Each structure stands twice: as C-alpha cells, then as structure tokens.
Amino acid sequence: MTDHPGRRRLWMHVGCSKTGTSSLQAGLWMSVEALAAEGVGLPFVGRPAHIAGLLRPLGWRPVDGFADDHRPKALGQVPATIRDTGGDVLLVSNEDLAEARSEDVDAIATLCAEAEVDLHLVLTVRDWAQQLPSDYQQFLKHRLADSYPEFLDDVRERRGPWADQFWRRQDPVDILDRWGRAADASRTHVIVVPSYSQDPDGVFNLMGEVVGFPSAVVNRPKGSVNASFGVVESEVFRRVNAALGDRLPDYKRDYIDAVRWPFANGVLARSASPRLTLPPEHLDWVQEVARRGVATVRERGYRVHGDLDALVPDETSARPLPAYDEAAVAEASITALANYAAGTARRKRS
C-alpha cells in the first residue's frame, strides 16, 4: 500500500493491553493542545469518547468485547469526526481494538477511506513473562474467579473463554493478521515496550518516534497508571469474584460501581505483597510462542521499534510464585473491608 498524495495519515494504535497504554493515553489526553501545536490531532479524547464514538458503534461491550452487530448510523458519524479534527497527522489509541473482528477492521478501513485519511497501524507489545501476570489481574476486574495457576494452564492449552481472550488481545501474530486487512507491512509499526520499572518513558519516546512528535510535549502522569496488585491482594480479589457467584449480574450497572472501581481505586492495596511472576515450569512454552512470533514479525518486514528479541523471556524472567498463607489473605481482606466501608461513607457525603 502507498499513501495517497494530499491525504493525512491516521495512526491507529490498537494495543496490546498492559503495554503502558493507560499511562500513554492519560498523557496524550492531558496534552491535546501541545500535540496540536506539533501538528498531531486526536479525533477521540478520553476513554468515554473512544467507547461512544468508535467501540460501541462497532458492536463492543464491556468484558465481552466485539460481540454485537455494527450500528451503521453511529458508524456513519466517524468520518466527519476524523475530517473535522485538525492536525497534519491524526492519532487514535485504544487497546480494545486489538480484539477487533475481521469485519470490524474492514469497517474501520472503509471509514478511513471515506474520511480520506491513510490508515497506519501501531502495535505495542511486551514479553509474556510480564503480560501473563498483568493480564490475569486485568481479568480479575472482569470477574475472573480462576486461580492464577489455573489461568496459566488454560492459556497454555488455549482452553476456555479467558484463555481465548488472552490470546486474542496478546498474540501479536493474530492481531497483525486481522489488522493486515487494513494496513500491510509497509504501514505497520511494532513497538517493543520496555518494562516501566526500567524505562518509564519508553512507550512515550517510541510512540513519538513512530508518529513523529517530540515525546517531551506529552505530559507524564504521576506514578504508574493502572498499577499491579500483589499476589495476596490478587487472591482476595479472586475470592470475592468467586463468592459473588451470579450476583451483580449486570457488569456495567452493578459490578463496576460495587467492585471494580473501589477495588482498583484504594480498597485493595497496590503492590503491598510480592508481585505475581511467571513460574519456571511455564517458561518453555512461553519462549516457544515468543520465538515463533519474533520470526513472523521479521519475515513479514514490519517496521520494528525497540528490541524485538526482548520478547523472548530468558531464565531470569521466570521465578517461583511468591508464597502466602491464609493469615495474609485474611489480613488483606479485613483491610480491604475497612477501606471499602470508609470509601462508601466518603462517597455518601460527597
């Protein structure tokens, strides 16, 4: 594919999730004016705008992803939104798009053609020694009640809906296959994001390099956005999901306000206990998947930013799961209950 003369580029950053996307997006949305001064326009500012303006029209819903039919009337508004956004280039960033179906990708390609922009794809990736524990904790916010060892076994065997969702949103080859319908290798950039603890600016710098803006113009959120839980706090979250059973059946109306939001915003302590790890017994298959992915990316000629070989975790990346006992779980549960009560009282007063 070659760009059309006179058309603007629209950079579509589609994930993967847990690759610094929350921090990057928070920074982008705090820096709309600074980016505009550099010629970069954001058609959708804020997650609600992405949901209302793009995801829901494509049939997306929380937890289930792209499961519904397209909404043609709402999709028909997207080209005007794109055309009306100023800037020499445009940038859309939403990790849910990693899970887009083939028909969703085709629809986006059509919308971009109608808006007279050239679609370029950006995929951010990290090694699965980081992604498996991170996405497990993200799935806890979606009501996952399986233990972490059960989750790892299911992903390895590609067994069950949670494993299917993990592969759909974390397997770079599968994502690139689906999105290749809209952007070939010449229009596709793969960013290997370094660990936040090693390089907190990495995702900002590499995205600026790809899209073409000085990363210094993007404000950095304070601290790590969407930080991880420790192994004990993750187990408390899991047990609450299991104990709920089929109560709070409406995820958006009931579960988000009652569980997800408070648990992710102070009820459960962040990193109070050791972090989840990739156990050594899972290293071999993770390495094999990574090697196949790295080979495919190289063979197809995607433009790579960062160290592609870093996607293959080495022996130092795998460590036995931290031990914990029932006393630690009980103490964390009592602390969470106290935090929940205090938070409920504050919300009632406000």
**Domain spans, the chain:** 8-128+166-225+280-315, 231-275+320-349
pLDDT for 282: 98
pLDDT for 118: 98
pLDDT for 159: 98
Instruction: Answer for the pair 152, 279: CB distance below 8 angstroms, yes or no.
Output: yes
Instruction: Answer for the pair 109, 182: CB distance below 8 angstroms, yes or no.
Output: yes
Q: Which residues of 158-187 are buried (b: 16+ CB within 10 A; e: fewer)?
A: eeeebbebbebbbbbbebbebbbebbebeb
pLDDT for 228: 80
Phi, psi for residue 190 in degrees, rounded to 5:
-110, 120
Percent of the chain at pLDDT exceeding 90 = 91
What's the rounded mean pLDDT across residues 77-98?
A: 98
Tens digit of pLDDT for each residue in 124-135? 999 999 999 999
pLDDT for 349: 86
Residue 83: which pLDDT band, with cuts at 50, 70 and 90? very high
pLDDT for 226: 61
Residue 224: which pLDDT band, with cuts at 50, 70 and 90? low
Tens digit of pLDDT for each residue in 265-318? 889 988 789 999 999 999 999 999 999 999 999 999 999 999 999 999 999 999
Residues 6+ apart with CB under 8 A from 166: 132, 135, 139, 155
pLDDT for 270: 80
Alpha-carbon Rg for the chain, nearest whole angstrom, is 21
Q: What's the mean pLDDT when you consider all of the chain?
A: 95
* Assigned token pair, 189: 């950039």
How far apart are the C-alpha atoms of 256 and 250, rounded to whole Å? 9
Instruction: Answer for the pair 169, 292: CB distance below 8 angstroms, yes or no.
Output: no
Class of domain 8-128+166-225+280-315: alpha beta
What's the rounded mean pLDDT across residues 150-175?
A: 98
Q: Is the pLDDT of residue 234 over 80?
A: yes
Tens digit of pLDDT for each residue in 21-50? 999 999 999 999 999 999 999 999 999 999
